[in-house]
Structure 1
Amino acid sequence: MFFLKQDVGLFDPSALLSLLDTNKQQHVERQLRIATTIFDAAAEAIVITDKNNYIYAVNPAFSQITGYSKAEILGKNPQFLSSGRHDASFYKAMWVVLSQKGQWQGEIWNRRKSGEIYPEWLTITKIEDENGEIFAFVAIFTDISKIKHDEEQLWRQTNYDFLTGLPNNTLLIDRLSNALIVANRENLLVALLFIDLDHFKVINNTLGHAVGDLLLQKVAQRLLTCVRDTDTVARFSGDKFTIVLGNLLKEDEIAVIAENIISKLTEPFELNGQTVFVGTSIGVTVYPADANDADILLRNADMAMYRAKAIGPNVYQFFTSKMNEQIHTRMGLEHDLRHAIEREELEIYYQPIVDLETGLVSKAEALLRWEHPTRGKVPPYEFIPLAEETGLIAKLGEWVLYTAAQQTSIWQTRTNLPIGVSVNVSTHQLKRGLSTATIADVLQTTQLSPELLSLEITESLLMEDTVANIQWFHKIKELGVKLSIDDFGTGYSSLSYLKRFPLDFLKIDRSFIRDSIGKQEDASLVKAIIAMANGLKLKVIAEGVETQEQLIFLHQLRCQYVQGFYFFKPMSVKDFERNILAKHGVPLLKKGLLRG
């Protein structure tokens, strides 16, 4: 300040202005340098065009994303980047928004120099001068290919089955619901098919999960050939599939497709050098006759499938109102079954098993019967599957085991006769905790000699030859209890598991015995089974024996035991004591009868 006062006469105003201009210029240069650095370093592509939309500047990110160099695109209209996915109306609407609001933002598909079409998120802003006239446009965009890819992957994982590539339940319900909306509007039919494979678990357990997975993939491929492009084939779960048939005019079309599916799936499958055969059961429900709701239709189709499975194999069944009544009956039956033991409605009947050499009763099979207070006798084929499905089989099975063992122990003590008892054990019981400790406790509580108790095991349980199952079988043998394989020949019979398990008896299914006199195939099969069992030192029990011809045939083949109506039907405790125990020692076979 002092200097200025002393030399105020020497002050030059132009020098101050020059100093101010220099500072301003430096500031502008710095701002330009910052802007240029941002422009060049930005990860987003930046394109600047003049008012006529011709490119006069791009940044390096533009070249990285599009593949075009700066020299290749200067002076060109950006429309040469167009992918062709958007029509003229799309671009017209874009320019309307841009002119009215000054900016447009959205997703757009463009084309790289390589020809690849890719998605980008684009923002276009118009630039005006001090008079409000447009003199440039700035476009900034980002390649969102990875985001779209990740979204698509997530969507596929949510809506498609990983193994088969078919829609899953989520997408199934969505497509079924949409098909119902269209059908309602157009007055058309929609059919829902519920498909279950027969013998899949057997194949999966015997040949391995890799072969099982390959089978499911090939089944999916065959199902796709049975329907139209507009139909939906989905994998419901495990070995169950569903099909939505839309835009139908009459139910006859559905039956043709169902028959075609059965035909396709019953053809052999070649899986890693193995030839495999499967069957199928199909349940069918139709909109609007059966229901107008996706969830109810799915339930209906499931019910119809189980009805087909009971009739099968290789059949399809339509859902009917009668089946709807059956589900209510089933629910009531399940409720009553839960209380059947405490109400003392259950009873065990005993069917004698006869030794062909002595003609005497060797043991008896324990068979559960239910006398319902209002329904009367409920057939086992109705309530046993119900018990297995609901988990009641664990409680019922333990009750049968204890009651049969106790009754046999009483007979043993009272008569001193070595008549044993055979009790059925299903896969469901073992899975629900039937332990060797439970069986040991039954033997100890009832004081039954272990050798008088036999457990009849289904083939499906043997095929699940896990370490735990094999250990369970050996522990049963350590208790002294006998083991029998039930209904041999009806499943995926194999010598391999007969050698792995410590079995005592092999039981031939009644269906083979029934046709053994008159059908050469069945007769040959019975011969082969008995010869094989004798070779493995297993004793054979033939069930379903009803005629003298069958009896003579089995004796000639050296079958040791028989069971069937030729001798006795299953009988109550009182009838067993009167007809068997009281007459024990008197052979049931007349002398010379078995010589034919």
Structure 2
Amino acid sequence: MNSIRIPTKAIGLKKSEVNAYIAELVKSHKSKLNELLQEKKILERTKYKLLLEIDDMKEGETVYEDVYETPEFNPDEEAVAAADANVHKTITLINELADQKIESMINRANAQIADYDAVLESLQNEIDTNKEKIEQLLMEVINYLKTNIDEVFSESTKKPDKKAPNREKVVSFADKKISGPKTNLTVVPKDIETNIITSLKSYSDMKTDFNDHISAVLSKEGAKGAVLLVEINNLFIANYFTQTSQEDVVMSGVIKKINELPYNLYTERLSYDQIGIIYDGVSDIVAVSELATVVLEQIQTDIGQDGRRKAELSANIGIALYPHNAQDSKTIMNCAGIALYKSKEKGKGCYEFINEELIYEIKLSNDFRHDIIKAMEKDELELFYQPLFSASDNTLSGFEALLRWRNEKYDRIPIVQIIKTAEKEGLISDVGAYIFKKACLFANRIKEKSGRRIIVSVNFSNSQIEKKDFLDTIKEIINETGADPHYIGFEVTESCFTDCFSENCLKMQQLKDMGITIMIDDFGTGYSTLSYLLRLPVSVVKIDKTFLDDIITSERNANFIRSIISITHDLGLKIVAEGVENEKQRAMLKEMSCDYFQGYYLSRPVSERETFAYL
């Protein structure tokens, strides 16, 4: 039988504390299993997304031929041939501009999936093994404590003999022999690995110790220094490729490297993939930056197998300075955590200092929920409308509703960020319903004053569309306002169909069947745009502004736009050019048979009162 070690915390327990001790033991290992299961979930979700991407890429190669082979789509053979030529010409242009081939993307994705499959298999094996070993271990410990409880506790309460040699005490379940230091207890069932119980010191205990150390440092007169919060990226994959059952090998190696650096550091592991570092006595940004750079370099490692690189170990670091940023341990850790979060937005292998701007963003985020709810209650959120004009005769064809928040506190924050924050705070459904209701009421007034069909379009995000009650909410608002669906447009991006393609397509089709115009916004910004376009229930395509920026100076860009317009018309769809900023762009797009224009050259977004001048 192999040996395992019962933590020293078991010594000195009273009989009444045995059940609590065993419960703590069970809790510790259940936490470990939960971490493994969480890692498995993350991998499975990543693998599933890759499989969806492969499916889309494969369909992108074949769907064009499938569509044009359908007799009822276009019985005119010459038209079919012309459309087919346009399709393949456009595909060629896209591949050249992106400088990527679909086949190579599929191969790379398949290679990633193979790696994920291997890690998933290893994780599942580890989960199953740990479950069996934990159950076996706990039964051994419980049975031993119950059988020998008097002996264990009487032994633990004896005073040590200072003259006696410090012999190691061993307890064997086979022969019940005991030897060893009287301040430590070691249980030896010989078929359980030593790494199942390493210590009862949980991650929570580690964080407590680290916070206590920060508090101790801060209590010193003239205290100054830095706290670095280090997060290892993809640690579970690196652990797999180390080819060991000891899950702490990689993290232990990282901590060892940090401790060997020639700096005055206190290091503590805080969670599965996070390490805390206290750099006491130094709060100079240049010096701390140097340390952060060295730490990142020490962690940067290639994990390989059979001489081949399989995974790259990297990290991100968030940094808070004391007493400059904060003067208590909790605030310092919060500041370092915020900085770590921002560093990951920059990419792997980066560090970030907490600063007043980041703190302002967090405070703003904390206030946001209250403020935006109050703004909706007081009707402070306003819609502006940017007109769309017909390319053929310059007449008004529609308006796009755009949110504006007239509030001094939020004036300098882009409205896109406001929407993202609403999504993060779980308020996007409320804000979206508020905007849509206002737009419906505006559409009613436009219909009454114009006497012709002018579509008022509203932007919707993926998080809104995926809500189970999305369709019910839309129908309820239309019924409440009495809006005519034929005067309403929905603008959605390709990203709305990335995760739940079939489900979201069905929702869009139901809206289209009601009479609502479905528009694809920011068209051309995704690699699978054409395959989506052929399958979505859309009526209008809006070309992203980025494609128009070089249309005058770049013949290739001009040819690309011309091909997109041609293929869109072949599919029976209308096209809008967004971001038209000068007469040359407008003239070129008109010559290419673009249907509608929108942009600052024609009109900026205007208030509702100003819209009636365009009728």
Normalising by the smaller structure, the TM-score range is 0.5 to 0.7
Query: Are 1:336 and 2:371 an aligned pair?
Result: yes
- From 473, 481, 485, the equivalent of 2:520 is 485
**Which blocks of at least 5 consecutive residues in structure 2 are unaligned?**
1-158, 242-247, 260-266, 305-309
Query: Are 1:191 and 2:191 an aligned pair?
Result: no
Q: Deviations over 1:348-376 (max 9, x none)?
A: 11101122233222111001112237777
Distance apart, 1:419 and its partner CA: 0.5
Instruction: Give the structure 2 partner of residue 462 of structure 1.
Output: 497
- From 365, 370, 375, the equivalent of 2:400 is 365
Distance apart, 1:575 and its partner CA: 0.4
- From 172, 178, 193, the equivalent of 1:123 is 178
Q: Which structure shows the higher helix fraction?
A: 2
Distance apart, 1:568 and its partner CA: 0.7
Distance apart, 1:476 and its partner CA: 2.1
Q: Deviations over 1:16-46 (max 9, x none)?
A: xxxxxxxxxxxxxxxxxxxxxxxxxxxxxxx
Measure, in 1, the Cα distance between the counterparts of 2:211 and 2:592: 61
- From 460, 466, 483, the equivalent of 1:448 is 483
Measure, in 1, the Cα distance between the counterparts of 2:527 and 2:441: 35
Instruction: Give the structure 2 partner of residue 71 of structure 1.
Output: none
Alignment partner of 1:514: what SS? coil
Measure, in 1, the Cα distance between the counterparts of 2:594 and 2:516: 22
Between stretches 461-470 and 338-347, larger displacement belongs to 461-470
Instruction: Give the structure 1 partner of residue 207 of structure 2.
Output: 173
Q: Is the CA contact (8 Å cut-off) linking 1:440 and 1:479 kept in structure 2?
A: no
Measure, in 2, the Cα distance between the counterparts of 1:187 and 1:377: 34
Alignment partner of 1:339: what SS? helix
Between stretches 563-572 and 518-527, larger displacement belongs to 518-527
Instruction: Give the structure 2 partner of residue 385 of structure 1.
Output: 420
2:415 maps to a residue whose letter is P
Measure, in 1, the Cα distance between the counterparts of 2:551 and 2:256: 42
Instruction: Give the structure 2 partner of residue 25 of structure 1.
Output: none
1:426 maps to a residue whose letter is S
Q: How does 1:379-528 map to 2 (within 5 A)?
A: 379-465=414-500, 467-490=502-525, 493-518=528-553, 526=561
Normalising by the residue count of structure 2, what TM-score does the alignment of the two structures yield? 0.55
Distance apart, 1:214 and its partner CA: 6.5
Q: How does 1:114-153 map to 2 (within 5 A)?
A: 122-123=177-178, 143-146=188-191, 149=194, 151-152=196-197
Q: Is the CA contact (8 Å cut-off) linking 1:370 and 1:379 kept in structure 2?
A: no
Distance apart, 1:572 and its partner CA: 0.9
Q: Deviations over 1:514-541 (max 9, x none)?
A: 3444467866765565455445544332
Measure, in 2, the Cα distance between the counterparts of 1:420 and 1:266: 54
Name the CA shift for 1:339/1:556 in 2 (closer, same or farther; >3 Å).
same
Query: Are 1:564 and 2:599 an aligned pair?
Result: yes
1:360 maps to a residue whose letter is T
Q: Deviations over 1:316-362 (max 9, x none)?
A: 54211343344334433432211112212122111011222332221
Q: Percent identity?
A: 25
Q: Is the CA contact (8 Å cut-off) linking 2:494 and 2:529 kept in structure 1?
A: no
Distance apart, 1:565 and its partner CA: 0.4
Normalising by the residue count of structure 1, what TM-score does the alignment of the two structures yield? 0.57
Measure, in 2, the Cα distance between the counterparts of 1:487 and 1:261: 41
Between stretches 365-374 and 533-542, larger displacement belongs to 533-542
Name the CA shift for 1:293/1:374 in 2 (closer, same or farther; >3 Å).
closer
Q: Is the CA contact (8 Å cut-off) linking 1:106 and 1:121 kept in structure 2?
A: no
Measure, in 2, the Cα distance between the counterparts of 1:232 and 1:251: 22
Alignment partner of 1:340: what SS? helix
Measure, in 2, the Cα distance between the counterparts of 1:368 and 1:216: 47
Instruction: Give the structure 1 partner of residue 110 of structure 2.
Output: none
What is the RMSD of the two structures over their aligned residues, measured on CA atoms? Answer: 5.3
Instruction: Give the structure 1 partner of residue 128 of structure 2.
Output: none
Higher relative contact order (CA 8 A, sep 6+): 2
Alignment partner of 1:545: what SS? coil
Q: Is the CA contact (8 Å cut-off) linking 2:224 and 2:323 kept in structure 1?
A: no
Measure, in 1, the Cα distance between the counterparts of 2:554 and 2:483: 42
Name the CA shift for 1:269/1:341 in 2 (closer, same or farther; >3 Å).
farther
- From 338, 362, 367, the equivalent of 1:327 is 362
Measure, in 2, the Cα distance between the counterparts of 1:190 and 1:108: 42
Instruction: Give the structure 1 partner of residue 584 of structure 2.
Output: 549
Measure, in 2, the Cα distance between the counterparts of 1:493 and 1:483: 19
Distance apart, 1:109 and its partner CA: 10
Measure, in 2, the Cα distance between the counterparts of 1:263 and 1:557: 53
Name the CA shift for 1:564/1:121 in 2 (closer, same or farther; >3 Å).
farther
Measure, in 1, the Cα distance between the counterparts of 2:167 and 2:176: 8
- The number of residues matched between the two structures is 429
